[in-house]
Amino acid sequence: MPDRLPSAAYADRPLPIGEGQTISQPYVVALMTDILGLKHNHRVLEIGTGSGYQAAVLGELANQVYTIEIKKKLYDRSIKILEMLGYDNIHSRHGDGYFGWPEAAPFDAIMITAAIDHIPPPLLKQLKDGGRLALPLGNPFSYQNLVLVTKQGEDLRVKQITGVLFVPMTGYALNKSSP
């Protein structure tokens, strides 16, 4: 939590963390984590490290967590916090999460913590058969639906969970510039 917001630390609402980003409401963090159905032997990819809070939650439940943050200041801050807390099963990278972490794939679960209007094909390729992807899907500048995508071979099962409001995914997802 930013030092200026200690009284809001236990509020069930999103809070600003700098760089135009927010930490998700604790209820939404719990819901997104729950729908992934994580097991202790799972490998998870998180897109949007932010403060590191969601990565830490995932790190308590899964064997290995790979997390990518596009905002350099947030990346630098979150890796220091996660290292200080002793999370040796969380691997961090600064970069555009749209393209995932191919050399660490395949993943049992993937979580996108920023709004996007489509399911990124590179992430689907990195998801194991039977794997689950949770993301806020819809207009990045309006409300979205929290969606759970389950990969079954070449087929995708998409289940809408609830309405949400997330900050937009930046980088390639927002600009659609060449990779």
CA atoms within 13 A on the CB side of 153: 1
Residue type present at position 42 = H
- Angstrom distance (rounded) from CA 118 to CA 114: 12
| Torsion sign, CA atoms 108, 126, 79, 25 | negative
The answer to whether 24 is a known catalytic residue is yes
CA atoms within 13 A on the CB side of 120: 29
List per-block mean pLDDT (blocks of 10 residues) for the chain, which spans 179 residues: 55 57 68 96 95 93 97 93 95 97 98 95 97 96 94 95 91 70
**What pLDDT does residue 123 have?**
98
**What pLDDT does residue 141 have?**
87
**What pLDDT does residue 14 have?**
55
**What pLDDT does residue 15 have?**
57
- Closest residue by Cα to residue 29 from 121, 131, 170, 136: 136
Radius of gyration of the chain (CA): 15
- DSSP summary character for residue 143: -
**What pLDDT does residue 21 have?**
55
- 11 Cβ partners below 8 Å, 6+ apart? none
> Any idea which fold 18-167 has?
Rossmann fold (3.40.50)
Instruction: Record the tokens describing residue 94, joined without a space.
Output: 């600064």
Q: Is the peptide bond before 106 cis (omega within 30 degrees of 0)?
A: yes
- Closest residue by Cα to residue 129 from 147, 103, 109, 99: 109
Pair 69, 50: CB distance under 8 Å: yes
Domain ranges for the chain, please list them: 18-167
**What pLDDT does residue 177 have?**
47
**What pLDDT does residue 178 have?**
42
| Catalytic, out of 24, 51, 78, 92 | 24
- Angstrom distance (rounded) from CA 155 to CA 66: 25
